[in-house]
Chain A
Amino acid sequence: MKRCSYSSSLHMKVKRRLTLLLVIFLFCIGASGCWDRVEIDERAFVLGVAIDLVPPSESHIEPIPGQVPIRDNIYDMTVEIPIVSQMAGAEGGSSEKEPNWVISSTGADITEISRTIMHRANRFLFYGHQKVLVIGEELAKEGIKPIIDFFDREPETNKRVKLIIAERDAKETLKITPKLSSAASLYIFEILEHEHRSSRLIDSNIGRALVSLRESGNALLARVRASEEEVVVGGSAIIKDWKLVGWLGEIETRAAMFVMGEVRGGIITIQDPRAEGGKISLEISSVKRIITPYVEGDDVTFNIEVLIEGDITENTGPNLTVSRETVEIAQERIGVLVKEDIKSIISKVQQEFKADFFLFSHLLAARRPHDWKRLESRWNEIFLKVKLNIDVRVRVRRFGVVR
């Protein structure tokens, strides 16, 4: 009998516990819910977004009566959405139709346009796989701050989205049909991912660009130009106080990246020191940048040491083999070349654009916090007078194989 009563109390206990668990479980489901569940095939994957400014003369939006008109700028947003049913593997897919849908709409802010497009596209716009955000030249000159906010705030967008400034209209870049990629956005994204092969374009992740933009309003962003079938990604756009103020060419961009310590590869070509017409090309394999600030009163000096290591990939001079002397001369000449590039970019930035996108301010704040506190308020003026001692050293590690 004792056994029996023991087991029945055990059953009661277990039952009560199970009921409790069930209740907790139901609460869990009810409280957190599954309303943000959207099936993958009900989403429209936005691969790229291009935003342009609609010229004031062309905007037709009537002010709503009785409401204070807040609409000063009208934006034209273009998104690229892959049509998954056209993709290989899907039923009834054919290669003849356009694989992507490039759709534009206008409005006063990004959220509004996003909703407009959503209503036209019968799917949820999903920014989780966005690859690029291209901003048109006109809009960039007006200021990119109101545009960026949506993408910064939106939890779906990731920080690897490339923030790019287009020469002329941004929407044109998404309209091209790349040969090897399935979408224009993927094409531009992949070019930028291979930035380190040449260091002539800047890999401007929105996450990293925003650090610099939020700090000072200045940043160096990638530049893109659309043609019929291709885009040219190269050089960079200079953003000062969230506004586009000018462009840097490809060599200038590389020089700027040397200063920022972001060069990871690329080719430097010089005349063969031994004979006319010959050339020697060095492929950069590693770059080390050491930068040291010195502060004396209001005089700020930066010592920039750039150590380049690389391989000789081409040698079109008369001698097949490369002698020790040639290597030494080549090393020196490459060093001088890089040094000149760096000098000219720094003077251009100091004199023409008058903005610190090299983030020298960060460096000073980290290394000389006391001096930085003192100089912080006047940094924009002091930056223009910053002196730089540049020292470039080159070392050739490999000469290639000659058969």
Chain B
Amino acid sequence: MVFREWRIGGEQGFDAALIFVEGMVDKTVINEEILRPLMFEVEETKVDKATSNEEFYHFILKSALSVADIKEVEEYDTSVFHLMAGMVVFLIDGFSKAILIEAKGWEHRGITEPETETIIRGPRDGFSETLRVNTALIRRRIRDPNLKIETIQIGRRTKTDIALLYMADIAEPKILDDVKGRLNDIDTDSILESGYLEQFIEDTWLSPFPQVQATERPDEVAAGLLEGRVGILTDNTPFALLVPATLNSLMQSSEDYYQRWLIGSFTRLIRFFANFLALVLPSLYIALTSFHPEMIPTRLALSIAASREGVPFPAFMEAFIMEGAIELLREAGVRLPSPIGQTVGIVGGLIIGEAAVSANIVGSIMVITVALTAISSFAVPTYDVAIAFRLLRFFLMIMATFLGLYGIILGLMIILSHMATLKSFGVSYLSPWSPFAPSDLKDSLIRSPIMAMRKRPSFMSTKDPDRMDVNRRDPEEKRNGEADK
């Protein structure tokens, strides 16, 4: 905290002070735009000429400061709050008001490529830690006055800035009110990351599934806003939240829309398949080898039996050991600095796997299963969903250990019925499959041609349901028509 005191306007002037927090203000602005004019340009004559003290104060306020954003406050608490947020407080002796001068400026990370959601085609900018930079990234994508950004502070001590983004003429008011209500209901001393917010506003905290979509990508948020969803940006974190979230939306990558539709659909199908594999593959291995070997083709059954010859553990132990090891490797790889992380991956994945097989601790088919499962789970675009399914994989493995294939089916039914009961801000988690909305299937397992998706998702009950003119002709058809003339 810096207190700079001096006398303004010479002998007949007033005592004045600038107060600001070191490191949160731009020193050049203070030196060049505040101190310089106040010290050298406000001469004694100005003070003399002023007929009253009030007039002098107004002169200072209106004409002396070459800074864009200033305001007056009278309350002590408000000025302290703004001081903590990086404003400069300007006090003049004899006046019961403080002038707040916007001179925020601090060291921050630049805009870099998001690390958790990399794509091949598409914008490379990701959110950073500064809220205003982040809102600007969205504003640059949607130049519509209907894009509303409302800022509130949450956290009794942290007073974190939260920006609520929505399209005023698209978003369903009920959802919007719901989001606002839940945000205003939060009573906590700190919001350090948007994950805090997510846990405060989600519908069912007992569920393993994320009911709020977290993303680092501004294009993803912009697309969400245009679908009628509400974005929540939190200061000090690059992770924005989008609500409501459905399983479908969490399985999508923004790249799906940038690629041509066949490619987008193909990658989406692969992703769903990979997710399914990641969920059931190890439990299938357990169920088939210990309960239903008649379901495996004869030659494969024999080679599985051969690979397990001499393995001292039952299949479920084998599976738990290997799945546990791979989770261990993954976690270690994340926590370690990235060059070491890769080494751990290679040492763990290749050497331990190979050694475990030759030491007869696990069968080679199990190693293949585990490797395939791990790769599949990394194909899911949203980390939160991937880890939810990874957790459920262990649940299914337990079910398979006790009940075989029947247990897997039972487990899948439990998971499915749980997902069907989930709601995110009034929207069913399994939309558009349940409740079934045929018109929204265009953007689910497959990604239809962009011309076919003329309407926004119906389950969002948007105010403006049309993306484009519904009656417009297909451009290709139109071009051909003109050529015929």
Contacts and interface: CB of A to CB of B under 8 A. Distances in A.
Interface of A: 14, 28-29, 32-34, 36-41, 43, 45, 47, 82, 84-85, 87, 89-91, 93, 126, 128-129, 131, 156, 158, 186
Given A40-B305, A89-B306, A126 B293 contact: yes
B19 interface: no
Main secondary structure of the interface of A (DSSP, over half): loop
A28 B403 contact: yes
B306 A87 contact: yes
Nearest to A128: B294
B259 interface: no
B307 interface: yes
List 6 A-B pairs, minimum CB-CB distance, nearest first. A128-B294, A90-B306, A84-B306, A41-B308, A40-B289, A87-B306
B206 A87 contact: no
B403 A85 contact: no
Given A39-B289, A84-B306, A156-B294, A129 B301 contact: yes
B290 A38 contact: yes
Given A91-B310, A129-B298, A186-B298, A40 B303 contact: no
A39 B302 CA distance: 13
B309 A84 contact: yes
Of B291, B406, B410, the most chain A CB neighbours within 10 A belong to B291
Contacts of A84: 302, 305-306, 309
Interface string B395-438: 00000011110100010000000000000000000000000000
A91 B360 contact: yes
Contacts of A33: 402
B314 A39 contact: yes
B133 to A, nearest CB: 36
A85 B364 CA distance: 14
A154 to B, nearest CB: 11
Contacts of A34: 401-404
B360 A40 contact: no
B111 interface: no
B315 interface: yes
B201 to A, nearest CB: 15
A43 B293 contact: yes
Interface string B187-223: 0000000000000000000100000000000000000
Given A37-B290, A40-B305, 18 more contacts: A34-B401, A34-B404, A37-B404, A39-B290, A41-B305, A45-B305, A82-B302, A84-B305, A84-B306, A85-B309, A89-B306, A90-B306, A91-B310, A126-B294, A129-B298, A131-B298, A156-B294, A158-B294
Nearest to B303: A89
B304 interface: yes
Interface centre among A34, A39, A47 (most CB of B within 10 A): A39
B293 A129 contact: yes
Interface centre among A37, A47, A93 (most CB of B within 10 A): A37
11 contacts: A29-B402, A33-B402, A39-B308, A40-B289, A40-B301, A40-B305, A40-B315, A84-B302, A89-B364, A129-B302, A156-B294
Contacts of A43: 293, 305
B403 A87 contact: no
A82 B302 CA distance: 8
Secondary structure class of chain B's binding surface, majority of residues: helix
B311 interface: yes
Contacts of A45: 293, 298, 301-302, 305
A286 B294 CA distance: 33
Contacts of B309: 41, 84-85, 90-91
Contacts of A156: 294
Nearest to B285: A40
Contacts of A36: 291, 404
Nearest to B314: A39
Contacts of A186: 298
A37 B288 CA distance: 10
A116 B364 CA distance: 33
Contacts of A39: 289-290, 308, 314-315
A296 to B, nearest CB: 50
Given A39-B289, A82-B302, A85-B309, A129 B294 contact: yes
Contacts, number: 83
Given A45-B302, A89-B303, A91-B360, A40 B308 contact: yes
Interface residues of B, number: 29
Nearest to A82: B302
Contacts of A38: 290
A37 B405 CA distance: 11
A90 B304 CA distance: 9
Contact of B307 (A89, A128, A129): A89
Interface in B38-86: none
A188 B291 CA distance: 28
Contacts of A41: 305, 308-309, 311
A123 to B, nearest CB: 10
Contacts of A89: 303, 306-307, 364
Given A37-B404, A39-B289, A40-B308, A87 B294 contact: no
Contacts of B305: 40-41, 43, 45, 84
Looking at A40, A82, A158, the one whose CB has the most chain B CB atoms below 10 A away is A40
Contacts of B298: 45, 47, 129, 131, 186
Interface in B308-323: 308-311, 314-315
A50 to B, nearest CB: 18
B294 A14 contact: no
A245 to B, nearest CB: 33
Contact of B306 (A29, A47, A85): A85
Contacts of A28: 402-403, 410
Contacts of B302: 45, 82, 84, 87, 129
A324 to B, nearest CB: 48
Contacts of A126: 293-294
A206 to B, nearest CB: 15
A84 B364 CA distance: 14
A320 B304 CA distance: 54
Contacts of B314: 37, 39
B313 to A, nearest CB: 9
Contacts of B311: 41
Nearest to B403: A32
Nearest to B297: A129
A316 to B, nearest CB: 40
Contacts of A90: 306-307, 309
Contacts of A128: 293-294
Contacts of A85: 306, 309-310
Contacts of A82: 302
A41 B293 CA distance: 10
B290 A40 contact: yes
Contacts of B293: 40, 43, 45, 126, 128-129
Contacts of B294: 126, 128-129, 156, 158
B292 to A, nearest CB: 8
A25 to B, nearest CB: 9
